[in-house]
Amino acid sequence: MSGLDDSGREMGNNNNEMVNDKESGRKCCRYGCRFWCKKYFWEGQELTTSDGGYSQEQLDLMPSNKRFLVKYRRLIGFAIPVTIWHFFWWALFFDRGFWKEQYFPTKYHLSITMIAGGTVAGMTSVGGGAVAFPVLTLVLRVPPDIARDVALMIQSSGMTAASFSIFFMRVCVEWHALILCTVGSLAGIIFGLHVVDPAMSSSLKKLTFVSIWLSFAIVLLILNRTHKRRTFNGIPAFGAWKGAVLVIGGFVGGIFTAFAGTGLDICAFMVLTLLFRISEKVATPTTVILMAFNSLIALYWRANMLQAVTDTAWQYIAVTFPVVTIMAPVGSIIGTHFHRLVLAALVIILNVTSYILAFVIVRPLTFPVVGTSIGIMVGCFLVFIAMTYAGQKLLDRYESSEDPNGDKERRIAILSKIFDESHINLGYRRDNSSLEL
């Protein structure tokens, strides 16, 4: 669960992902739609060893209370945060008279939107702000400052509920990233709120947001076209320089979060998957927890230190809170079953759609704003590509240190395979998970 230096031995489940797409396609055609749906929409999540893999005999020997928690952990992980959040919301609903303020008749559009936004926040590496911010700024024409605050509120509630579900189900996360990215993001959020956000125009904030996300979508598409990609459950051979990279990534993500309400999750996801080759099934719940905690920090700073959260933002969260606190845990449960390619496709579609909408709706489109937007997109794309290249080099170096006699072992494995028919015992134990013939 912590992804320490022995994470290379956690590759058993990840090796199942390294299959040839052509062979998978032939199997899907051969076995029909049911096989295809099970492969891509009911794959299952990486769980810690203490909470998964119980046989029926082991369950029968457990005390009834523990057996109930293990058997129904997904349902319980969903019900507890939803019940707690809704208890407080309904108390405020009646105490503050939300039904008297006409919030829902005028702001129900965002409530409907966050059915999808909350689900996306729980199941993918992008927060609910990735849906709320473009909808508010591009469609509903809400000022970016208010949209940013609403995105932070949505993530503070919905993604916190999703985080509880992740912890309760003991989904595997990368703890180095959780701690160190948070350290960097705290400084990035404060710096961004005080320095970067006031210096950006409204149009620039909108186009910067969608430009960063489009570059992320392009790299994610390229990444998932790489077949037989080896991934890990934790950062292999973790050291000081890798920790520094996580802190820097958190700082940059904190700046993005300061003006757009989201961004730390994308930066952390890119560092983990491109540079350190962490599986998307581990990186996604890690970024959900990261974004939940840091949204709380950013919202606290905006509301108390700067005292800049408007009444309009609070009104929007009043109508979206009961939706996102249900849909985000639902999304986290759905995400435990979807194949990584399905999750990647959802993120790509969302980001490309936001970028197209931005250029259709945002006005005025001045040359400096458009040029800056394109420059940011190209710059982010180049950085992500460089991270991909560096990640491959790190993987090659790790595999060479993991298996210094790889060539000799490969030759022995080939000879063993040739002489298997003659029942010749070479006296060598092969590790099929680490050899590719």
Mean pLDDT score, 392-419: 65
- Residue identified by tokens 């609070």 is 314
pLDDT in the model for residue 252: 93
Contacts of 403 (CB under 8 A, 6+ apart): 409, 434
Contacts of 236 (CB under 8 A, 6+ apart): 5, 7, 8, 276, 277, 398
Q: How confident is the model at residue 227 (pLDDT cuts 50, 70, 90)?
A: low
- Residue identified by tokens 């998932």 is 224
Cα separation, 346 vs 196, in Å, equals 30
Q: What is each CA distance from 142 to 153, 313, 316, 407, 421, in whole angstroms?
A: 15, 10, 11, 61, 72
Does the pLDDT of residue 150 top 60, yes or no? yes
Does the pLDDT of residue 389 top 50, yes or no? yes
Lowest mean pLDDT among 136-140, 171-175, 324-328, 339-343: 339-343
pLDDT in the model for residue 181: 96
The pTM score is 0.75
- Of residues 64 and 172, more confidence is placed in 172
Mean pLDDT score, 146-157: 89
Q: Nearest-CA neighbor of 155 among 21, 147, 55, 407?
A: 147
pLDDT in the model for residue 341: 75
Does the pLDDT of residue 422 top 80, yes or no? no
Does the pLDDT of residue 433 top 80, yes or no? no
Q: Which amino acid is at 430?
A: R
Per the CB < 8 A criterion, the answer to whether 177 and 250 are in contact is no
Per residue, what are the HEC states of 380-423? HHHHHHHHHHHHHHHHHHHHHHHCCCHHHHHHHHHHHHHHHHHC
Distance linking the first and last C-alpha atoms of the chain:
31
Q: How confident is the model at residue 53 (pLDDT cuts 50, 70, 90)?
A: low
pLDDT in the model for residue 10: 43
Q: Nearest-CA neighbor of 43 among 398, 339, 264?
A: 339
Cα separation, 208 vs 259, in Å, equals 10
pLDDT in the model for residue 420: 52
Which alpha helices (DSSP H) does 100-143 contain, by range?
103-123, 129-134
Q: How confident is the model at residue 173 (pLDDT cuts 50, 70, 90)?
A: very high
Per the CB < 8 A criterion, the answer to whether 188 and 249 are in contact is no
* β-pair partners for 171: 47
Which alpha helices (DSSP H) does 51-102 contain, by range?
56-61, 64-71, 73-96
Per residue, what are the HEC states of 58-69? HHHHCCHHHHHH
Q: What is the pLDDT of residues 176-194, one digit of tens each?
A: 999 999 999 999 999 999 9
Cα separation, 222 vs 226, in Å, equals 7
Lowest mean pLDDT among 181-190, 224-233, 297-306: 224-233
pLDDT in the model for residue 176: 95
pLDDT in the model for residue 410: 54
Cis-peptide into 364, omega within 30 deg: yes
Does the pLDDT of residue 289 top 60, yes or no? yes
**Averaged confidence pLDDT in the chain:** 77
pLDDT in the model for residue 19: 43
* β-pair partners for 47: 171
Token digits of residue 287: 């970024």
Q: What is the pLDDT of residues 261-277, one digit of tens each?
A: 888 988 898 899 889 98
Q: Nearest-CA neighbor of 213 among 74, 401, 102, 354?
A: 354
Percentage of the chain beyond pLDDT 70 is 76
